[in-house]
Structure 1
Amino acid sequence: METLVKPAPAAPQLTHRDTLWIVAGVLLPVFMASLDQALVATALPTIGHAFDATGQLSWVVSAYLLTSTAATPLYGKISDTRGRRVTMLAGIGIFVAGAIASALAPNITSLILARGLQGIGGAGLVAQAMTVLGDIAPPKQRAKYYTYFSIIYTSAAGIGPVIGGLFAEHLHWSLVFWISVPMGIAAFAMTSTLLRKLPRYERYHRLDIAGAVLIVAASSTLMLVMNTGGKTWAWLSKEIVTLGVVSALLWILFFLRLMRAAEPLIPLGILRNPVVRCAIVANSFGWAAMIGLNIYLPLYLQSVLGQTPSESGVNLIVLMVTINASALVGAQVAARMEHYKFYPLITLFICILSIGWLALRVDTLSMLEFELVLALAGLGFGPVAPVSSVALQNAVMMHQLGTAVSVMSFARSLFAAVLVAALGAIVLHAVGSEMLSGAAATLAADRDGATAAFRNLFWVTAGCLVIAFLGLLLMEEKPLLTSNETRIE
């Protein structure tokens, strides 16, 4: 069935001042979502010890990523139909509600469910902000506005681990969620006011709720298999076999839904574009690897190297700061170079070597060496994100922009959720809550097992980055457009 089309009035020409105000309207929601990830990652070991549920920590992250994965394409279609402003306001409201529920959670199960709710809201923040940037600036000019986003990402990455560590060690872990409430209220007011002049390129879409439910159910059962197989139940036990069969059936139903729905959760037409496919592979595999590192490096520092939450938070600042600082450079390079892939290919190769070095030296690293390796990894990956995002946006029509950006976010969140669960299956059962409490006898007994587990984690992460490298290498370099008008039909 054909998509119903509602002709949009000609978009008014924005002045540079108008454009800056629109960008300002989405920066606080982006900061709020980015800060949340940094805060929670640093506080995770403390949360696991508080609930005596270290083996379930990956679900605190995966629940957010899973629901965000399912909701992101829905937000893309809603924003293409109803406008970016209304869609982002809905996301902010749900995100704040999830943060309150997380802060009040009495046990790990309640926290996981609350994080799932927060993920539904989070899906409408960063992806929609990138779509707004695509609405107001053509690909060739986007770098100068990406500077403001880079400042926000870098600020969140710089202060998030420190604040998260201080809250977890000296106050209470729930503060990492409470802090989102005042920011959410301010973000709602700013977005409501400043996005009124945003150009609108609208087409009606049907929402594939059934597809969203299927992807969450299929991914959840798969991750349950990865987290309980060989630990809670034997791999060939009836429980694991049953979960495996159920997951396989749900994945089959999801793919059948993609092929048969009038407007599936993931529009297959967009995926027929080879530039879109390669950009999504580079972006999703690369970001999933970085998210995995950001989640589990605090655990590595606290369990293997014996650091406190505050110390681990401070020592992780360099990773996200360098990622976002170098992402700014990557955006500028994309705007100025005809062959804009060359620079991120070189830097991503350096990133892969850095993570490989971590794997080789996992138990003998000095802190200075660790910081240098993290800096190289961050500087190496940073340019991949803006280049792959701009390449994707450059390859689609304006009325598809929200959907295309959401598909990339969907793929990134889905693979990150699965990878976080897989990495959790590697390390969380080797790092018990006793290690996080700092008991000396337990530390001596368990550190060898934790070291081996983290070595495997770093090799898996490096493998994901290799796949990202191949996606970027195979992506066609189409000239970046200088006007959005050429993409309106």
Structure 2
Amino acid sequence: MTDSAPIGRARIGERDWILLLGLAVGLLASELAETVFATALPTVAGDLGHAAQLAWITTAYLLAGTAVMPVYGRLSDRAGRRPLLLTALGLFLAGSVTGALAGGFATVVLARVIQGLGGGGLLILVQSVVADTVEPRRRVTVMSGIGAVFAVAAVAGPVAGGWLSEHVGWRSLFWVGIPFALLAALVVWLRLPAGVPTDRAAAEPPAPLRLFRTRDFTTTVLATGLLAVAAFGSIAYLPTYLQMGLGLRPTTAGLVMLALVGGLAIGTVLTARLVKRTGRTKPPLVVGSCSAAAGLLLLAATSTGAGLGLAVAGLIVLGLGVGSAWEVAVVVAQTSVGDDAVGTATSVHSLGREIGVVVGTAVVGVWFTARLQSLLAGQLDDQTVRSLGPATLDALPDGALLVVHQAYVGALAPVLAAVAPLALAAAVVFAALRSGKLARVRTGAPASEADGGEPGRIERADRMIR
């Protein structure tokens, strides 16, 4: 079968389950590549003599991955999923090997860019393959299973990253995803047919911009973006905060971060039950955003001598907030448009969310490192500052160690307090949703129209934009 040949949509069977499991393994590799570095950032940057530029290790991956998301989606609609998946996995593998063999900080950053170019396509392509191979009534179940990959990466990544960087070395963080990516590539090559589905071969991709003529869709994208900037921009640097500000070992910091994951899990489960029973989406969105802001303020109040209690409480409250709002926002974005535009709405909403994560990570990182350099200037010599990391803290005299702890807390705490109002702004925007309740049955119309609100069909919006 050639790449240009169309393929049919079959009921899911043994072949498809093997394919979906292989794709989940590949997605796990890309997610681990992002999360394992959370607790290892100070170690990598300190070992390579670039502690003040540690933000680039995370930002490079996120920027590259977000930039290519729409490219992968559009090209795969035309050329088929398999060649784009193999390309994404190949780039991820190339970046992993480059990073593992890197001799300097610039090469590590380049490796993260290459990894991101591959990893950024995997989520979009996996969702597209699910749409191609799984019948609609079973698709939610399959997507929930694939969504569990993110939970596994969120739990295992920081812990594994801390342990590996402390006991094996930070280069192992690049090697760890290679077996998963190779297995995924083999499954894709052997199990995924070439070409495009028969029902999409002649179809023109929908125009994403027309979705923004629907008020609730635009509101949801904007609010989710604000929440992403505040919450995920901060989360990327919390393991560094725990290690360098509170003096925890990398492995211990990874374990403490499980408080955040626990809050996420509890918030997600409780909110899912609430929405299923009542159909109301606005309360968890508003309350969740406010909870995220409260968690950031609690973390900002943590000081070197305050102990772990306040930090753990802040992580739990932040996790509860994000867990309450994050997945509900996806459902609201999908139901705010007609059934014929659900796929496009999902991809546009995901892209907006990732842009928020990238912007937040970059802004918090630059602001944090700038403050850190300012606070350490004149306190320690330049060589000591460049090589700061968990492994070098033990060699510092007590006076210098206290200076480092206070500098890291003094650098990040005000930034956390400053971005917390963005989460509150997200709550205000969510409160402006026109429709706050999901319909019991699918009507083919946006939720606002199905519930008796102002009509907001995409067809009407398309005419308006033209």
TM-score (norm 2): 0.79
Q: 1:110-189 counterparts in 2 under 5 A?
A: 110-132=107-129, 136=134, 144-189=141-186
* Contact 2:158–2:257 under 8 Å retained in 1: yes
> Structure 2: which 5+ residue stretches go unaligned?
374-384, 447-457, 460-466
Corresponding letter in the other structure for 1:319: L
In structure 2, what residue type is equivalent to 1:418? V
Residue by residue over 1:21-43, the C-alpha shift from the partner in whole angstroms, topping out at 9 and shown as x without a partner, is 66535322332222222101111
Paired position in structure 1 for 2:56: 59
Aligned match for 1:283, one of 219, 224, 227: 224
Q: Find out whether 1:312 has 2:270 as its counterpart.
A: no
Q: Tell me which structure has the larger Cα radius of gyration.
A: 2
Name 2:463's counterpart in structure 1: none
> Pairwise mapping of residues 189-268 of structure 1 onto structure 2 (< 5 A)?
189-192=186-189, 202=200, 267-268=208-209
* Gap regions ≥5 residues in structure 1: 1-5, 208-262
What's 1:459 paired with? 417
Separation in structure 1 between the aligned mates of residue 277 and residue 76 of structure 2, nearest angstrom: 31
Kindly state the Cα deviation for residue 442 of structure 1 after the two structures are TM-superposed.
2.3
The 1-side partners of 2:365 and 2:335 are apart by 36
Q: Is the CA contact 1:147–1:328 (under 8 Å) kept in the aligned structure 2?
A: no
Shift of 1:193: 5.2
Given residue 118 of structure 2, which amino acid in structure 1 is its aligned partner?
G
SS of equivalent residue, structure 1 residue 40? coil
Closer, same or farther: CA 299–91 of 1 in aligned 2, 3 Å: same
Return the TM-score normalized by structure 1: 0.75
1:382 to 301, 319, 323: 323
1:27 aligned residue: 24
Cα distance in 1 for residues equivalent to 2:33 and 2:277: 33
Inter-partner Cα distance in structure 2 for 1:17 and 1:348: 41
Q: Which amino acid aligns with 1:347?
A: G
Check 1:32–1:110 CA distance in 2 against 1; reply closer, same or farther (3 A cut). Answer: same
Matching residue's letter, 1:315: V
Aligned Cα root-mean-square deviation (Å): 3.6
TM-superposed deviation, 1:297 = 1.0
Q: Partners in 2 of 1:454 and 1:376 — Cα distance?
A: 18
1:186 Cα shift?
Answer: 1.3
Distance 1:120 1:24 in 2: 22
Seen in structure 2, the aligned counterparts of structure 1 residues 205 and 348 have a Cα distance that, compared at 3 Å, is same
> 1:456: Cα distance to partner?
1.4
CA shift for structure 1 position 480: 5.5
How many corresponding residue pairs? 425
Q: Residue 292 and residue 91 in structure 1: after superposition, are their counterparts in 2 closer, same or farther (change >3 A)?
A: same
* Greater mean alpha carbon deviation, residues 391-400 or residues 362-371: 391-400
| Pair 1:419 & 2:360 matched | yes
User: Which residue identity lines up with residue 44 of structure 1 in the other structure?
Assistant: L
